Every structure is written in C-alpha cells, then in structure tokens.
C-alpha cells in the first residue's frame, strides 16, 4: 500500500531503515532499570515450532526461566505443537490465532509471536470458557465470577473467538458489559478477538491443553500485585453529516436513510459498483479505510467496519452488530496523524502517571493494517518505544480496552495496548 501523500520523505526513509533490520527470528532481552524488578519478559518470533524451540533453548541457556507464554499464532502454523513444546518446558500458555503478529522490530503474517514472562504463578491464573449452548452474557459472567474467586481485584487480558467454523459470531460488546456487571466498571480489561489471516474460516483461542473456536480465554492478573496501564484509541476522524441505519439485523445493514446500504456506501466512496465476484477483496482493501463511527450516548463513538456484502440478503455485513435506528458518520481516510496521536497519548499517560513497565501487549485491528500499510508497524514500534520494554501483539478482528474517556468498550479499527509491571 502506498504512503499517504502528506508523509514526508524522511518518514519514508525511516520506514525503509526499519524494514532493513527485520529478522526471521528475534529474541528481545528484558529491559533493565536501576531498581530491581521481579517480573522479567522476552519477546520471541519464529516461522515454525522448530524456530520457537531454538529461541527458547537460547533463552534458557542465558538463565531466563519463564512461567507464562502469551502466544499469537497464524492458523497456518501447528498450534498444538507449539503448546506441547511450551507444556514440556513447564510454561503456562494463553493464546489466540491471529491476522498477523508482531514483536518490537518485527512483523509477519503466517508466523508465531510470543511474549514470555517470568512472573509468580500466585499472581495470575488462566481461564477458558466455551460458549456452547450458553449465551455470551452467561459465559462471560461465569468467567468473571471464577476470577473473583481467585483474586479480590482481578484484571483481564481477554481473547475471544470472532466466529466459529459454524458461522456463529461473538458479540464483543456483550462480553465487555458482562464483565463490568460482575466485577464493576473499574475493571481493567484489554485484549482482542482472534483472527485467521483474513481467511474467515474459523478463529481459535487456547491454553496448554484446551482450545475453542467458539469461546474465550483470559489471563487473569491479581491487580494487587500487577499494575496495568493501557488505552484503546482509533484516531480516525469523522466526516460529513449523520446518517441513520433504517433497517438492520444484528451485523447486517439493509438500508441507510431508507436506501440500500451498499448503494449508499459505494456512493460515499465514489465507486460505481463492486462486483459480487470480487466483493471480499474490495471490502478487505477498502472497509478499514472508511469505517462507520456509530453514535453512542455518553460514550465515544463505536467504530464499525464493513467487511463484506451478503448478496442473497442484499445487506452490508459489518464486523459487529449495528442496532436499527443507530446514527453514524463515515470516517476520513487515515494519515500519519493517526499514528502520532496514538503514540503521543501513550506518552502522556506514562508521563502523567510517572509509570514504568516490564512488558507490553498490543491488540491492533486487522483493518488498521489494511488502511495504514507499513505505517502500522511504525505505530506498534512507536508504542513499544514509549515504554521501552519487550512487546508482542497481533492484528485482531475486534479490540477490548479502556477508551480515552476512561470507559471500557468493544472497539473496531482501534489500537488497544496495555503495559504491565509487577508491584
């Protein structure tokens, strides 16, 4: 994808320099501070379980003995083999399939990214819940109650499936509100929905010995022992007048202002038509550039990305439910200001809290990668640079995190990040 015309040549040169320093396999050493810290972290990437094994062996030879691995992995990789490897080494696993994965200085599609933490097992637990025949609300509430049985003040790194192989779509908004109803609105909740390299065939979450294509998994942290600093921010700017969704069912929009939804969307984009044969590629390329900003009373707008068109139902398909009667505006195409905004907000939070960290996780929407192209990597590396710690993350199908206004939301086209530090 080409750079935005307003980006200076110096930025382009910086990007080229970054690309020249990428490696197939990376191991990042933990950041050291003058004060002694108990949590240690390292990020690892590899293109096979064999490469991951080599990285782990090198790490252990240096005396690093992690207790926990947070794994982001392509559906093309052997997930079970990676879990078996980590289990043999006595490392707890929480993970999700991805639509691209990254660590500081490295980005890939189709590989494996891990962040390894040396952290007391008494400070965390891992919970996996399958939806099965339960509602999303019931399932999320069950997981939250189990977390409260373990810690009086739990915080969550949450990954859920986006949809199952049977086509069942998970409502991320319901998950967030369910967690808040049990734990309270002050809960720290960050994470993302699993991806599948944009194949849209099925997404997975997993632990050492469990996996689900229709469920959720949470790393539950004892916030009395672990500090979390994070934020979810989009940066997309609204454009034009408000429009109204006049007919919708769940994530299908039939009409906008009483006119066919696809017609209105293409008219806004200046497109005469989108072939039914190439509609997937069309929305994969364009949808992330022009998401809807759905109005929500007393809260920040919900970013909602069109991901396709259902020809039989003649409906625009969105990645999240859009209630009938919702008002929304289109978004302007992204530019470099978006990246500056995300990084600047992270710096302001760090400075304002006088905070330090030992590890970082980033959950960035797959639509951001499509819209920003190579600049997405600069955004991720810029965030890691603010905290100067090992980082890992993945491109998601939806994000969980605390918005700039402090309220938890389920997001789209958003970069959600969280920095961790043992107290």
Q: Who has greater pLDDT, 320 or 144?
A: 144
Shared-domain flag, residues 269 and 304: yes
Q: Are residues 137 and 257 in the same domain?
A: no
Q: Indicate the range of 79-83, 152-156, 174-178, 312-316 predicted with least confidence.
A: 312-316
Answer whether residue 32 shows pLDDT above 70: no
Q: What is the pLDDT of residues 97-136, one digit of tens each?
A: 999 999 999 999 999 999 999 999 999 999 999 998 899 9
- For the residues 364-379, what does the mean pLDDT come to? 90
Domain co-membership, 192 together with 205: yes
* 3-class SS of residue 323: coil
Instruction: Examine residue 150 and state whether it is found in any structural domain, yes or no.
Output: yes
Assess whether 220 and 122 both reside in one domain: yes
Q: Are residues 220 and 365 in the same domain?
A: yes
202 and 266 share a domain?
Answer: no
As for how many domains the chain has, the answer is 2
The answer to whether residues 248 and 341 belong to one domain is no
Residue 280 falls inside a structural domain? yes
Residue 9 has pLDDT above 50, yes or no: no
Confidence (pLDDT) at 283:
73
Percent of the chain with pLDDT strictly greater than 70:
87
Position 335 confidence tier, pLDDT thresholds 50, 70, 90: confident
Q: Which tokens belong to 108?
A: 């890939």
Is 2 within the bounds of a domain?
no
Q: Are residues 285 and 218 in the same domain?
A: no
216: which residues sit within 8 A by CB, 6+ positions away? 128, 129, 131, 139, 140, 143, 158, 159, 160, 161, 170, 175, 205
Same domain for 224 and 117: yes
Last residue of a domain, one of 331, 350, 385: 331
69 and 173 part of one domain:
yes
Q: What is the pLDDT of residue 284?
A: 64
- φ/ψ (deg, to 5) at 282: -60, -50
More confident of the two residues 237 and 4: 237
Q: Are residues 140 and 251 in the same domain?
A: no
What would the pLDDT profile of 177-208 be if each residue is shown by its tens digit?
999 999 999 999 999 999 999 998 899 999 99
Q: Give the domain range for residue 353.
A: 9-233+336-422
301 vs 277: CA distance, rounded Å: 32
Tens of pLDDT, residue by residue over 293-315, are 999 877 778 888 888 888 889 99
Say whether pLDDT at 31 is over 70: no
- The rounded mean pLDDT for the chain is 87
Percentage of residues of the chain with pLDDT beyond 90:
64
Q: Tell me: do 89 and 210 sit in the same domain.
A: yes
C-beta separation of 396 from 99 below 8 A: yes
């Amino acid at each position: 994808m080409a750079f935005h015309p307003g980006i200076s040549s110096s930025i382009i040169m910086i990007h080229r320099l970054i690309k020249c320093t990428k490696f197939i396999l990376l191991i990042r050493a933990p950041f050291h501070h003058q004060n002694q810290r108990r949590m240690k972290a390292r990020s690892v990437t590899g293109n096979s379980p064999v490469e991951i094994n080599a990285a782990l062996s090198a790490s252990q030879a240096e005396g690093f003995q992690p207790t926990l691995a947070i794994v982001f992995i392509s559906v093309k990789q052997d997930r079970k083999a990676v879990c078996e490897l980590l289990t043999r080494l006595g490392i707890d696993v929480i993970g999700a399939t991805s639509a691209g994965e990254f660590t500081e200085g490295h980005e890939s599609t189709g590989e494996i990214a891990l962040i390894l933490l040396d952290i007391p097992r008494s400070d965390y637990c891992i919970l996996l819940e399958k939806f099965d025949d339960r509602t999303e609300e019931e399932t999320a509430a069950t997981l939250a109650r189990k977390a409260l049985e373990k810690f009086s003040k739990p915080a969550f790194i949450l990954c859920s499936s986006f949809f199952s192989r049977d086509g069942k779509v998970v409502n991320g908004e319901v998950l967030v509100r369910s967690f808040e109803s049990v734990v309270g609105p002050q809960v720290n909740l960050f994470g993302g929905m699993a991806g599948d390299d944009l194949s849209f065939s099925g997404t997975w979450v997993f632990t050492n010995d469990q996996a689900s294509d229709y469920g959720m998994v949470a790393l539950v942290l004892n916030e009395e022992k672990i500090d979390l600093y994070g934020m979810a921010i989009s940066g997309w700017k609204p454009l034009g007048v408000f429009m109204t969704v006049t007919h919708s069912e769940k994530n299908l929009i039939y009409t906008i202002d009483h006119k066919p939804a696809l017609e209105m969307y293409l008219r806004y984009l200046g497109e005469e038509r989108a072939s039914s044969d190439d509609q997937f590629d069309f929305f994969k390329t364009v949808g992330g550039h022009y998401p809807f900003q759905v109005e929500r009373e007393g809260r920040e707008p919900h970013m909602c990305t069109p991901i396709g068109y259902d020809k039989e139902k003649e409906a625009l398909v969105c990645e999240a439910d859009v209630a009938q009667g919702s008002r929304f505006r289109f978004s302007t195409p992204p530019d470099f200001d978006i990246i500056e905004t995300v990084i600047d907000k992270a710096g302001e939070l760090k400075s304002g809290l006088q905070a330090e960290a030992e590890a970082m996780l980033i959950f960035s929407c797959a639509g951001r990668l499509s819209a920003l192209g190579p600049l997405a990597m600069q955004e991720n590396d810029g965030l890691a640079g603010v905290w100067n710690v090992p980082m890992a993350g993945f491109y998601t199908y939806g994000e969980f995190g605390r918005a700039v206004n402090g309220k938890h939301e389920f997001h789209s086209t958003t970069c959600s990040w969280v920095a961790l530090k043992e107290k």
